Chains A and B, each alone.
Chain A
């Protein structure tokens, strides 16, 4: 922009560099974004990740397979159950351990409950980012109920740590399955309440529709996974397309963005995918509760567990996309090499591209719609 002063000199404007984060209410943790702005318009937003790097992969080489389980809780603290199970499934695939069916059912139940609670946080914090604080507290209200269930089954409310290599830490306590069913009956109508309260609110839709549109080819090219990929209209879900555990036994829909309020692949689509996925998770848990067999919940795994030499890659559908675990064994008690691929980290690749030319308020919307979590990005 140029203008003239009264004396006829050309006015000069200058771009401003703003440091957004690592401490900022809407970066969902310690993400730092370096914004170059022209007034309110962002000309460049460069994410600077790494503030939460704990070296989980290296730690994995120094501890035994079983000892690494608690570290996976911290991989994605909002979906610890999913990460626990992912690690268990990966090691079981490596060591070819047969897991009792009841354990698999319990894993699926807690994983899907955790998906619900993780999506609740995604939904709640996203709306809070958009300036509506009430839905956040509604989401927290429901999440407490999931936490109560998890406390019942494993004693913890955040870092759950329920799965074990070869099964789960213990059978579901008496009353757990009934309480889970009660929760589902309570929770399912709440999704409609959210939609009435905020999802189709005019201001909310206006803030999200047509913002940060990611076409399907681009989403695939950048390696996006999970709800962010499905938001662009790509029907890819590992639970259906590369089935593991007992997922083939369940009937559920893969939710994709439909571009119902704007272009396909905008922030609103990514948001709606999560809302709809909560419904599907409820469906899966209901079926699992109906089909769960009796039996043991732990396979026979030797005390000093040494998988045969070899390597394996296992990927599972976590709430924030695909969590892929590549583990190499040299036959000793510790993994020789461990590599974890997480959905949030890969999603950050496209951040700079989609945020070009948006406004500062939209940056917040993009971060919220990606539903990133920093321990997953930095590991």
Chain B
């Protein structure tokens, strides 16, 4: 950030008189705003596409009233949520009740900062990128638990308890399943992980094809991440047909909107991490993005990244609209008895592979056979 501020000062000499920290702060706020606006727009447009797809899967039409072909539905929904009355139940814990949506929202959106959207399109290339994502998304569980507790509603409480148990349980397999990508790249930075997958036509360098264990850990990650973001078949915390709506049952208006957006944001973060860690991130197949002029390189890589991430989100939606929901004991059994041991075995497998074959994946070995 400070480097960016310095280059800005060099670029616009008028700013020379302003203290550097002010400019740094301004740059920070501006980039945060850009990320937020980008995320919100993406979610708006994304939700429209997904609702159309969901409609298709469910043999119905989907939104088609607001704007041409229902294209402006997400704006209408947003305006509606803002204008709705904000109800706080009489016997709720008012402070916690107001606080909860922010935890959830911040936890989900702070993760956008380190998502590598393109060659140079990353708000902050932290050297602990993955670790950071895991840490901030853990905030979500605090928010959900607060929401469930402060609502003074038993259904909400049950939902909050379920969410806490579930997210904590599935955080372990999620983290363990991501480690193979870190091991292969030798870095926690998401940008470095993406760059490490650039070789071999931009497809065969993907961690997905690195070795069988990496492929398997992608599947494990994707399954566990669905559970961590409370997607069907793991949507127990909101389980509409059991807990009415779970932890957010007492929320209305924009506070509910924040929960809703955060859920959507979580979904995208999961897809983005899967893309960055296993599917080659912004690497464009058969094109060397770094060789292109920066503008075109960035645009192209952004498009490819969003395309991949969106495909993952669509798959999540597909699963969501197909499968029924697990019971809470089955969910816990699945995590602790199957997913956690499997991810550990998998991690061991990847480590051994890297040790035995000096970090080379199957495609690299085949490529070296042919010179």
Report whether A40 and B328 are in contact in the complex, using a CB–CB cutoff of 8 Å: yes
Grouping DSSP codes into helix (H, G, I), strand (E, B) and loop, the A interface class, with mixed when no group exceeds half, is helix
- Shortest distance from the beta carbon of A219 to any chain B beta carbon, whole Å: 24
Could you tell me which residues of chain B, from 31 to 71, have a CB within 8 Å of some CB in chain A? 57-60
Q: Which residue of chain B lies nearest to A35 when distances are taken between CB atoms in the complex?
A: B154
Q: Which of B76-84, B123-131, B234-242, B281-289 contacts A (4 or more CB under 8 A)?
A: B234-242
Q: Which of B7-15, B18-26, B107-115, B317-325 contacts A (4 or more CB under 8 A)?
A: B317-325
Report whether A131 and B325 are in contact in the complex, using a CB–CB cutoff of 8 Å: yes
Report whether B324 and A207 are in contact in the complex, using a CB–CB cutoff of 8 Å: yes
> Residue A137 at the B interface, CB < 8 A?
yes
Using an 8 Å CB-CB cutoff, how does the interface string of A14-46 with B read, 1 for contact, 0 for none?
001010000011100000000000011000000
Report whether A132 and B244 are in contact in the complex, using a CB–CB cutoff of 8 Å: no
Contact check: which of A26, A39, A138 meets B241 at CB < 8 Å? A26
Report whether B58 and A137 are in contact in the complex, using a CB–CB cutoff of 8 Å: yes
> Residue B309 at the A interface, CB < 8 A?
no
> Residue B85 at the A interface, CB < 8 A?
no
- Chain B residue numbers with a CB within 8 Å of A359 are 327-329
Contact check: which of B154, B324, B328 meets A131 at CB < 8 Å? B324
| A131-B241 CB under 8 A given contacts A40-B158, A141-B59 | yes
Cα–Cα distance between A364 and B241 once the two chains are bound (Å): 8
> Residue A338 at the B interface, CB < 8 A?
no
> Residue B330 at the A interface, CB < 8 A?
yes
> Residue A133 at the B interface, CB < 8 A?
yes
Report whether B325 and A25 are in contact in the complex, using a CB–CB cutoff of 8 Å: no
Report whether A131 and B232 are in contact in the complex, using a CB–CB cutoff of 8 Å: yes
Report whether B327 and A362 are in contact in the complex, using a CB–CB cutoff of 8 Å: yes
Using an 8 Å CB-CB cutoff, how does the interface string of A194-221 with B read, 1 for contact, 0 for none?
0001100101101100000000000000
- Shortest distance from the beta carbon of A30 to any chain B beta carbon, whole Å: 15
Cα–Cα distance between A40 and B236 once the two chains are bound (Å): 12
Report whether B327 and A133 are in contact in the complex, using a CB–CB cutoff of 8 Å: no
Cα–Cα distance between A141 and B59 once the two chains are bound (Å): 8
Chain A interface residue count: which class?
20 to 34
Contact check: which of A24, A129, A207 meets B327 at CB < 8 Å? A207
Cα–Cα distance between A134 and B320 once the two chains are bound (Å): 9
- Shortest distance from the beta carbon of A45 to any chain B beta carbon, whole Å: 13
Could you tell me which residues of chain B, from 298 to 339, have a CB within 8 Å of some CB in chain A? 321-330
> Residue B202 at the A interface, CB < 8 A?
no
Contact check: which of A26, A128, A138, A201 meets B323 at CB < 8 Å? A201
Using an 8 Å CB-CB cutoff, how does the interface string of B260-292 with A read, 1 for contact, 0 for none?
000000000000000000000000000000000
Report whether A129 and B241 are in contact in the complex, using a CB–CB cutoff of 8 Å: yes
Could you tell me which residues of chain B, from 200 to 217, have a CB within 8 Å of some CB in chain A? none
Contact check: which of A40, A133, A206 meets B321 at CB < 8 Å? A133
Cα–Cα distance between A206 and B242 once the two chains are bound (Å): 17
> Residue A130 at the B interface, CB < 8 A?
yes
| A203-B323 CB under 8 A given contacts A18-B154, A360-B242 | yes
> Residue A127 at the B interface, CB < 8 A?
yes
Cα–Cα distance between A257 and B328 once the two chains are bound (Å): 27
Contact check: which of A130, A141, A198, A362 meets B325 at CB < 8 Å? A130
> Residue B155 at the A interface, CB < 8 A?
yes
Total interface residues in chain B, CB < 8 Å: 29
- Shortest distance from the beta carbon of B353 to any chain A beta carbon, whole Å: 31
> Residue B233 at the A interface, CB < 8 A?
yes
- Chain A residue numbers with a CB within 8 Å of B322 are 132, 134, 197
A-B contact count (CB 8 A): 79
| A134-B241 CB under 8 A given contacts A207-B324, A207-B327 | no
Cα–Cα distance between A128 and B59 once the two chains are bound (Å): 15
Report whether B324 and A360 are in contact in the complex, using a CB–CB cutoff of 8 Å: no
- Chain B residue numbers with a CB within 8 Å of A128 are 241
- Chain B residue numbers with a CB within 8 Å of A25 are 240-241, 244
Cα–Cα distance between A335 and B242 once the two chains are bound (Å): 43
Report whether A360 and B330 are in contact in the complex, using a CB–CB cutoff of 8 Å: no
- Shortest distance from the beta carbon of A255 to any chain B beta carbon, whole Å: 23
Cα–Cα distance between A134 and B57 once the two chains are bound (Å): 7
> Residue A301 at the B interface, CB < 8 A?
no
Could you tell me which residues of chain B, from 153 to 204, have a CB within 8 Å of some CB in chain A? 154-155, 158, 161-162
| A131-B239 CB under 8 A given contacts A18-B154, A40-B158 | yes
| A207-B323 CB under 8 A given contacts A134-B58, A137-B60 | no
- Shortest distance from the beta carbon of A201 to any chain B beta carbon, whole Å: 6
| A26-B242 CB under 8 A given contacts A16-B154, A132-B322, A207-B327 | yes
- Chain B residue numbers with a CB within 8 Å of A24 are 244
Could you tell me which residues of chain B, from 219 to 273, have a CB within 8 Å of some CB in chain A? 232-233, 235-236, 239-244
Q: Which residue of chain A lies nearest to B57 when distances are taken between CB atoms in the complex?
A: A134
Using an 8 Å CB-CB cutoff, how does the interface string of A104-132 with B read, 1 for contact, 0 for none?
00000000000000000000000111111
> Residue A361 at the B interface, CB < 8 A?
yes
Q: Which residue of chain B lies nearest to A363 when distances are taken between CB atoms in the complex?
A: B242
- Chain B residue numbers with a CB within 8 Å of A127 are 324
- Chain A residue numbers with a CB within 8 Å of B236 are 361
| A18-B155 CB under 8 A given contacts A203-B323, A361-B327, A364-B241 | yes
- Chain B residue numbers with a CB within 8 Å of A206 are 326-327, 330
Contact check: which of A16, A132, A138, A361 meets B242 at CB < 8 Å? A361
Report whether A207 and B59 are in contact in the complex, using a CB–CB cutoff of 8 Å: no
- Chain A residue numbers with a CB within 8 Å of B158 are 18, 40, 360
- Shortest distance from the beta carbon of B157 to any chain A beta carbon, whole Å: 8
Could you tell me which residues of chain B, from 140 to 155, have a CB within 8 Å of some CB in chain A? 154-155
Report whether B239 and A203 are in contact in the complex, using a CB–CB cutoff of 8 Å: no
- Shortest distance from the beta carbon of B315 to any chain A beta carbon, whole Å: 15
- Across the A-B interface, give the 3 residue pairs with the lowest CB-CB distance, nearest first: A131-B325, A132-B324, A130-B324
**Sample of 6 more A-B contacts, CB < 8 Å, known A132-B325, A206-B326:** A131-B233, A132-B232, A132-B323, A133-B321, A203-B324, A206-B327
> Which residue numbers of B lie inside 8 Å of A, CB to CB?
57-60, 154-155, 158, 161-162, 232-233, 235-236, 239-244, 321-330
22 contacts between A and B (CB under 8 A): A16-B154, A18-B155, A18-B158, A25-B244, A26-B241, A40-B162, A40-B328, A130-B241, A130-B324, A132-B232, A132-B325, A134-B322, A138-B58, A198-B324, A201-B323, A203-B323, A203-B325, A207-B325, A361-B236, A361-B327, A361-B328, A362-B327
